[in-house]
Amino acid sequence: MPTARKWPSISRRDFINGVAAIATAPSIPGRAAEGGIFIPPPQETGLRGSHPGAFEAAHALRDGALKPESVRDTGELYDLVIVGGGLSGLAAAHFFRRYAGTDKTVLIVENHDDFGGHAKRNEFDVDGHKIVLNGGTLEIESPERYNEWARSILNDIGVDLSAYERENAPQDSLYETLGMKPAFFFDREGWSADRMARRGSRRDAPWPSLDAAAIAQAPLSPRARKDLERLLARTQPDYMPGVAVAEKKKRLATLAYDRYLLDYVKVDPTVARMFRKAGAGVFCVGADAMPALFAWAMGYPGFSGLGLGVMPEGLLSDLPGGEHGRQTETDRSVHFPDGNATLARLLVASLIPEATTARGQNAMGTADFDYMALDRASNKVRIRLSTLALNVVHDGPTESAEAVSVLCCPASEPHPTAIRKVRGRQVVMACWNMFIPYLIPTLPDAQKKALAYGVKGPIVYANVALRNWRAFHKLGVSDIDSPNMYFEQVQIAEPASLGALKAPTNPDRPIVVRMIKTFDAPGLPTKRDQHRAGRAALLATPFETFEREIRSQLQRLLGSGGFDADRDIAAITVNRWPHGYAYTYNSLYEPLNWVFTETDERPCVAARQPFGRVAIANSDSAASPHTDAAFEAAHRAVVELLEREAFPFVSATPGPSTF
């Protein structure tokens, strides 16, 4: 084993040659200005996502350690208060103003220091080059299948996917033109040696990172190599002979993919290990917790001889987002340079025009936002960042109250003297389902139980700014599957341009590399148990560990191409999402009708029922992590409130705390 390498530390603001001073600004609640220089949240490096300062008060509330000693009533009254400034919360503000009128007032309360929720943007300025990447929500997946309300949002805020695709068409094949292909990295801990198996030149590879050329480079035994060739072959045996197709699908729905590979396909364990993280990027668990039927629908190998046909129209395909993508999808997905942060930025520009001078889709690439303008008293819509909602209570009996009181405090300050009260004629809860019972303890017990059912999947998007990508070019690789290493995927940023923000096309120029890690815990009884264990492990992992693993893994992957971590890494942003993807139902653990139908028996349906003047909008309420689910949920919640009652006289008596 080589001697362990000691890496120099990169601080939270290590932009090396880079981050210019943006503006001198007054402080923002929950944020610090260093040396009088305000750093916009997208430009912060280090630990981001659910970052320190965004959740301390939430954990104190959860643990029963935060009780109000005194509450200051700010005297603020809004037509709508929205708890949560992610895509669903922003969309709720959009729909409310569309239906109730642009003269109505809206307050959005968000515990993070930036808007967008999981649709975060990471910016880097490296050697004078501005480069960006998504810090969370990646793409608009199968827009042809977007629901009516999601499509209407895109239209309203000026999203033109066709124009964006035309603009980027010339560089779609950039990496292939440069001789760069997907690759699979066999590490010495899981196989017999560190080896990069690079795909050949054929576009119709049976698996993106594996074809005959890659298999020939794999450090596998003769038997394992033969099993892998059989698994990836276009013509395969029927591994369930004599079983009717309907019964095959039922069995596959209740059989984990890893067991299918080992017990039915009977591949060597070293081959099964290659697919141990199958589905992890969607479900935040690996092949041990993903139904084999899902693996078939997602195109994983091993099913071509079963005669399953195609996933029938209507099976999952009409659910928001879908359990695992679009079952009858085209391969079309649209990825802006910063992922769906572009949508969040367009929504904020529409809701609070004073926040930016930029207008239109293309302008979002390089748009600057004035964060001090988000919460001005003169705004009809206000976004209050770094602020946590603590308690939501009707001002009187739930069914007859004419307003709702919302208690808030700085997200980083779990102190009982820091609590403030605002009021809303209506409230939309666009935060996580599992947190809502803590905020509204007067909810019916059955609804609290339903809200707590779904456990969000933990995931990390670590974005690493490099001074150049010559090593990727020299090795001929663009993205690397490494399922047995700390980060299971390493991807060079997609060559995407948006207006004046141009994609890096020269290997000598800076670029961002995305590294993905999911925190599964094989062997636990359910997917929910794995998510809980994974969340605990993620929250216990300091930035220093991520930095060490990032440097070590990139050096192992790219060192033979001339990469030097000390020299080539300019900055690191670790987007930590302990409460990441919305929980999706899984036929290994839950009833089939929960998974494959829109039955009202699903916990998400019971959880999202309106409660007096409070409605619930978030992707959890659709049991889907997809953006269109978040948008549809926002529309449903706003309509539920507006259909219930117009805005009558507001009682002068604020509601008491129900902590």
- What pLDDT digit, counting tens, does each position of 19-67 carry? 332 222 333 443 444 455 788 999 999 999 877 766 676 677 676 666 6
What is the phi-psi region of residue 279: left when phi exceeds 0, alpha when psi lies from -120 to 50, beta otherwise? left
pLDDT of residue 519: 95
Q: Which residue has the higher pLDDT, 9 or 521?
A: 521
Q: How far is CA 610 from CA 399, 586, 590, 615, in A?
A: 11, 26, 25, 4
Average pLDDT over residues 55-84: 79
pLDDT of residue 362: 97
pLDDT of residue 365: 97
pLDDT of residue 38: 81
> Does the pLDDT value for residue 455 go beyond 90?
yes
Indicate the average pLDDT of the chain: 88
Confidence of residue 453 (pLDDT cuts 50, 70, 90): very high
Average pLDDT over residues 450-463: 97
pLDDT of residue 5: 37
What digits encode the pLDDT tens for the residues 262-321? 999 999 999 999 999 999 998 999 999 999 998 998 889 999 999 998 665 444 444 444
Average pLDDT over residues 468-497: 97
What digits encode the pLDDT tens for the residues 579-620? 999 999 999 999 998 988 888 999 999 999 999 999 999 999
pLDDT of residue 320: 45
What digits encode the pLDDT tens for the residues 511-545? 999 999 999 999 999 999 999 999 999 999 999 99
> Does the pLDDT value for residue 454 go beyond 80?
yes
Strand blocks (E) in 21-176: 46-49, 72-78, 80-83, 106-109, 121-126, 129-134, 140-141
What digits encode the pLDDT tens for the residues 483-504? 999 999 999 999 999 999 999 9
pLDDT of residue 313: 46
**Phi, psi for 461 (deg, rounded to 5):** -110, 105
Got the DSSP string for 285-337?
S-GGGSBHHHHHHTT-SS-TTS----PPTTSSTTSSS-BTB-TT--S-EE--T
What the block records as the tokens of 19 is: 């981050």
pLDDT of residue 327: 44
What digits encode the pLDDT tens for the residues 90-124? 999 999 999 999 999 999 999 999 999 999 999 99
Instruction: Return d(Cα 571, Cα 135) in angstroms, integer.
Output: 14
What digits encode the pLDDT tens for the residues 239-269? 999 999 999 999 999 999 999 999 999 999 9
pLDDT of residue 657: 54
Task: Identify the weakest region by mean pLDDT among 13-17, 296-300, 638-642.
Answer: 13-17
pLDDT of residue 58: 65
> Does the pLDDT value for residue 413 go beyond 90?
no
Q: What percent of the chain has pLDDT over 90?
A: 74
> Does the pLDDT value for residue 218 go beyond 70?
yes
Is the sign of the CA dihedral 263, 264, 266, 270 positive or negative? negative
pLDDT of residue 133: 97
Average pLDDT over residues 5-19: 36
Confidence of residue 345 (pLDDT cuts 50, 70, 90): very high
Instruction: Return d(Cα 121, Cα 93) in angstroms, integer.
Output: 21
Q: Do 301 and 232 form a contact (C-beta atoms < 8 A)?
A: yes
> Does the pLDDT value for residue 650 go beyond 60?
no
Q: Do 371 and 384 form a contact (C-beta atoms < 8 A)?
A: no
Average pLDDT over residues 322-348: 77
Instruction: Return d(Cα 478, Cα 482) in angstroms, integer.
Output: 13
> Does the pLDDT value for residue 212 go beyond 90?
no
Domain ranges of the chain: 209-333
> Does the pLDDT value for residue 417 go beyond 50?
yes
Instruction: Return d(Cα 417, Cα 123) in angstroms, integer.
Output: 36
pLDDT of residue 36: 59
Average pLDDT over residues 218-223: 95
